[in-house]
């Protein structure tokens, strides 16, 4: 047995074979081929596999986000059947070049040709040719780009995973995550918690590719990774897994019960999601609504801007499936660690403080308007609220509201129905927004505290930093006092305040949040019932005064 210690960032015990994440785009070596017939057959087989994959992606996209987005995969299939492209590759292979190099050579030629055209649409197709070619090369080299080429579910190992990589994974194939690097506050860790999948980060060099395929057991609470566990370890961890399952059954009995304290204070417990796929978990865990729909994941899943129609379908699905319960959709929060190449953002020295989130939306109003149109259109299908990230100033909120009004006027003129009462809220995740919360509260319908960024900016500690978790102390009194100040100002203005950062699920602080008067907690779906159980055990008359005096 090899026992590796990392940092647990998403609770739970999982057991299964270890599988190393295959990153597409590995360097391709050009080799001389003797048997060109066999190489041609290998290419053809990979091309057919790619066609099948694209068909599956088409069907998935059609069901989840609709025709317009699914059409991309159809277009990719057509390209893969394009005779000029296929014959071009066959010719290069025929001259004795290995299939991987032949595909990339022809892809480059096609991309160059398309880019040289005087037509923006055709220029845009260059990325598509590269995309399908990378897929074929990935299949040829056994590395299904970003995929998990395994029949059985696995414990996924990687050096680190970008949010855009994590969102594209087939979740049904993942029992757990283990990464060499990473931070507990990164979006990958957050995604693991949203999906309720055990995760461990920071295992360093000890995670070796040589362990690939070996049975491992991980404990997402303690951070243990046991490779080929001995009998004692295996028994201990599997016993813990059984206990967790039993506890889950017990918590299941709380479904349908209110989130109410002993002295009758009600709290809204909502869920954080990244895509409509997560709604099953929200409903299964009896979430009272969606407190944070991180809409940027729709952008990260795509290789170009998601269209209004595509977004509309995703938001409509969320609104409908939540059956009239509040669904707070946060507008695009791209930038910093969440990068999508097609935004072509300039490289920044300090991206966490750069052009991100609302700053991008206010700089590129056409991107913002497309999203707002989709949101307003979807608002008639349920109870949608819109929330804006990274606010620091009152002028930003006023400009946002002006843009919202312009979008509403457009829709009215086009006779497209929308809910006139859509609530607008802002995230409190910068110290400036806390300091200005008295004025900001007069502008909006609600506040939601993003403790991940609020901690980062208050303590000046990078939430992504590999060696900074010790300093990233969300329990720091400076953070808690910020929450209190924003809550007091919200209540003075008659609006509600929630917490949608990871701290909301920290049950060691639930009593403090209730003492502060937090009205809503938005947490990963798997945290709803444990939180409900804690809320129901609290009597706010007992300790609130003392807690507030010591803040
Ligand atoms: C936060 O900053 O706390 C938050 C909820 O937003 P994100 O983690 O997506 O930045
Ligand atoms: Mg944030």
* Ligand that lies nearest to the alpha carbon of residue 337, given by its number in the listed order: 1
- Per-residue pLDDT, averaged over 38-44, amounts to 95
Atom of ligand 1 nearest to the CA of 389: 6
What local confidence, expressed as pLDDT, does residue 464 receive? 85
What local confidence, expressed as pLDDT, does residue 96 receive? 95
Separation CA 48–CA 136 (nearest Å)? 9
Q: How far is the CA of 288 from the centre of ligand 1 (A)?
A: 20
> H or E element: which one contains 488?
helix 477-492
What local confidence, expressed as pLDDT, does residue 26 receive? 58
Separation CA 433–CA 188 (nearest Å)? 26
- pLDDT tens digit string along 78-102? 999 999 999 999 999 999 999 999 9
Residues with Cβ within 6 A of ligand 1?
190, 292, 294, 333, 429, 450-453, 500-501
- Per-residue pLDDT, averaged over 431-439, amounts to 98
- Per-residue pLDDT, averaged over 393-405, amounts to 98
What local confidence, expressed as pLDDT, does residue 111 receive? 87
What local confidence, expressed as pLDDT, does residue 470 receive? 84
Q: ∠540-458-531 over CA atoms, to 5°? A: 35
Q: How far is the CA of 202 from the centre of ligand 1 (A)?
A: 21
What local confidence, expressed as pLDDT, does residue 411 receive? 98
What local confidence, expressed as pLDDT, does residue 417 receive? 98
Q: Which of these ranges, 142-151, 241-250, 464-473, has the smallest mean pLDDT?
A: 142-151
Q: Which of these ranges, 49-58, 393-402, 450-459, has the smallest mean pLDDT?
A: 49-58
What local confidence, expressed as pLDDT, does residue 427 receive? 98
The crossing angle, in degrees rounded to 10, of helices 36-64 and 120-140 is 120
Contact indicator for 444, 396 with CB cutoff of 8 Å:
no
Q: How far is the CA of 57 from the centre of ligand 1 (A)?
A: 29
Q: How far is the CA of 67 from the centre of ligand 2 (A)?
A: 31
155 pLDDT tier (thresholds 50, 70, 90): very high
Separation CA 407–CA 418 (nearest Å)? 11
Residue 345, judged by CB atoms within 10 A of its CB (0-12, 13-18, 19+), counts as: middle
User: Which residues are marked as active site?
Assistant: 187, 500
Look over the chain and give the mean of its residue pLDDT values, rounded to a whole number: 92
What local confidence, expressed as pLDDT, does residue 116 receive? 87
What local confidence, expressed as pLDDT, does residue 436 receive? 98
Separation CA 402–CA 398 (nearest Å)? 6
How many other CB atoms are found less than 10 A from the CB of residue 181?
A: 16
Separation CA 276–CA 280 (nearest Å)? 8
Give 118 or 48, the one with higher predicted confidence. Answer: 48
Mutation probe of ligand 1 site: the residue of 188, 333, 461, 506 with most atoms within 8 A of C-beta:
333
Atom of ligand 1 nearest to the CA of 448: 5
Q: Which of these ranges, 133-147, 415-429, 479-493, has the smallest mean pLDDT?
A: 133-147
Mutation probe of ligand 1 site: the residue of 294, 449, 454 with most atoms within 8 A of C-beta:
294
The percent of the chain in helix, strand and coil, each rounded to the nearest 5, is 50, 15, 35
Contact indicator for 472, 455 with CB cutoff of 8 Å:
yes
Instruction: State the greatest distance between any 2 C-alpha atoms of the chain, in Å, as a whole number.
Output: 83
- pLDDT tens digit string along 166-219? 777 888 899 999 999 887 777 778 888 888 899 999 999 898 888 999 999 999
* Ligand that lies nearest to the alpha carbon of residue 272, given by its number in the listed order: 1
DSSP string of 181-228, one letter each residue:
S--TTSHHHHHHHHHT--EEE--GGG--GGGTTSEEEEETTTTEEEET
Q: Is the pLDDT of residue 443 over 90?
A: yes
Atom of ligand 1 nearest to the CA of 452: 3
| % of the chain with per-residue pLDDT over 90 | 73
Minimal-distance CA residue to ligand 1 atom 4: 450
* Ligand that lies nearest to the alpha carbon of residue 522, given by its number in the listed order: 1
Minimal-distance CA residue to ligand 1 atom 1: 450
- pLDDT tens digit string along 11-20? 999 999 999 9
What local confidence, expressed as pLDDT, does residue 159 receive? 86
pTM of the shown model:
0.76
Q: Is the pLDDT of residue 53 over 60?
A: yes
Atom of ligand 1 nearest to the CA of 451: 3
What local confidence, expressed as pLDDT, does residue 354 receive? 93
- Torsion angle of the four alpha carbons 511, 514, 518, 519, in this order, in degrees rounded to the nearest 10: 120
- pLDDT tens digit string along 252-279? 999 999 999 999 999 999 999 998 989 9
DSSP 338: B
Closest by CA position to 380, among listed 458, 331, 447, 320: 320
Minimal-distance CA residue to ligand 1 atom 8: 452
357 pLDDT tier (thresholds 50, 70, 90): very high
- Per-residue pLDDT, averaged over 2-17, amounts to 95
Mutation probe of ligand 1 site: the residue of 392, 501, 505, 524 with most atoms within 8 A of C-beta:
501
Separation CA 2–CA 176 (nearest Å)? 18
What local confidence, expressed as pLDDT, does residue 24 receive? 61
- Per-residue pLDDT, averaged over 527-551, amounts to 97
What local confidence, expressed as pLDDT, does residue 160 receive? 82
Q: How far is the CA of 474 from the centre of ligand 2 (A)?
A: 13
Atom of ligand 1 nearest to the CA of 449: 3
Minimal-distance CA residue to ligand 1 atom 9: 294
Phi, psi of 275, rounded to the nearest 5 degrees:
-160, 165
Q: How far is the CA of 112 from the centre of ligand 2 (A)?
A: 39
Distance of alpha carbon 451 from the chain centroid: 17
Closest by CA position to 9, among listed 479, 452, 512: 452
Separation CA 342–CA 134 (nearest Å)? 17
Q: Is the pLDDT of residue 151 over 90?
A: no
Enumerate the β-bridge partners of residue 16.
Answer: 216
Q: How far is the CA of 186 from the centre of ligand 1 (A)?
A: 9
Minimal-distance CA residue to ligand 1 atom 10: 453
Q: Is the pLDDT of residue 123 over 80?
A: no
Separation CA 100–CA 30 (nearest Å)? 8
- pLDDT tens digit string along 62-82? 765 567 667 778 888 999 999
Contact indicator for 318, 279 with CB cutoff of 8 Å:
yes
Separation CA 24–CA 141 (nearest Å)? 10
Separation CA 411–CA 241 (nearest Å)? 52
Q: Is the pLDDT of residue 144 over 60?
A: no
């Amino acid at each position: 047995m090899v026992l590796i210690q990392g940092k647990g960032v998403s609770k739970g015990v999982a057991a299964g074979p270890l599988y190393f994440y295959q990153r597409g785009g590995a360097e391709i070596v050009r080799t001389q081929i003797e048997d060109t017939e066999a190489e041609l057959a290998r290419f053809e087989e990979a091309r057919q596999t790619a066609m099948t994959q694209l068909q599956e992606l088409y069907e998935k996209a059609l069901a989840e986000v609709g025709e317009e987005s699914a059409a991309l995969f159809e277009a990719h299939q057509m390209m893969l059947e394009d005779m000029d492209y296929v014959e071009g590759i066959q010719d290069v292979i025929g001259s004795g070049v290995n299939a991987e190099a032949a595909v990339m050579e022809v892809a480059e030629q096609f991309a160059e040709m398309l880019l040289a055209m005087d037509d923006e649409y055709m220029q845009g197709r260059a990325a598509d040719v590269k995309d399908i070619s990378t897929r074929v090369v990935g299949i040829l080299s056994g590395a299904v780009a970003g995929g998990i080429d395994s029949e059985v579910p696995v414990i996924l190992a990687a050096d680190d995973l970008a949010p855009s990589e994590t969102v594209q994974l087939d979740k049904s194939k993942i029992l757990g995550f283990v990464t060499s690097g990473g931070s507990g506050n990164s979006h990958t860790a957050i995604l693991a918690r949203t999906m309720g999948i055990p995760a461990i980060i920071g295992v360093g060099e000890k995670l070796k590719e040589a362990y690939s395929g070996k049975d491992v057991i991980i404990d997402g609470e303690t951070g243990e990774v046991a490779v080929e566990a001995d009998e004692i370890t295996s028994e201990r961890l599997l016993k813990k897994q059984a206990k967790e399952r039993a506890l889950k059954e017990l918590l299941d009995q709380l479904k349908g019960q209110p989130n109410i304290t002993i002295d009758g204070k009600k709290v809204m417990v909502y869920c954080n999601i990244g895509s409509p796929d997560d709604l099953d978990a929200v409903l299964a865990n009896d979430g009272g609504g969606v407190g944070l729909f991180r809409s940027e994941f729709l952008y990260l899943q795509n290789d170009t801007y998601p269209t209004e129609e595509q977004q509309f379908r995703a938001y409509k699905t969320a609104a409908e499936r939540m059956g009239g319960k509040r669904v707070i959709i946060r507008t695009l929060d791209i930038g910093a660690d969440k990068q999508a190449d097609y935004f072509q953002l300039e490289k920044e020295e300090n991206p966490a403080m750069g052009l991100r989130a609302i700053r991008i939306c206010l700089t590129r109003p056409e991107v913002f308007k497309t999203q707002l149109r989709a949101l307003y259109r979807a608002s008639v299908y349920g109870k949608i609220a819109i929330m804006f990230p990274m606010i620091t100033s009152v002028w930003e909120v006023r400009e946002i509201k002006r843009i919202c009004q312009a979008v509403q006027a457009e829709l009215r003129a086009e006779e497209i129905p929308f809910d006139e009462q859509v609530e607008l809220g802002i995230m409190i995740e910068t110290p400036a927004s806390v300091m200005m919360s008295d004025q900001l509260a007069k502008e909006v319908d609600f506040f939601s505290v993003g403790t991940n960024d609020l901690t980062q900016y208050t303590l000046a500690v990078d939430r992504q930093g590999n060696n900074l978790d010790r300093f990233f102390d969300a329990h720091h009194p400076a953070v808690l006092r910020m929450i209190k100040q924003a809550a007091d100002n919200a209540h003075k203005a008659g609006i509600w305040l929630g917490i949608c950062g990871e701290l909301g699920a920290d049950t060691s602080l639930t009593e403090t949040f209730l003492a502060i008067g937090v009205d809503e907690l938005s947490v990963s779906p798997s945290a709803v019932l444990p939180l409900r159980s804690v809320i129901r055990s609290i009597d706010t008359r007992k300790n609130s005064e003392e807690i507030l005096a010591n803040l």
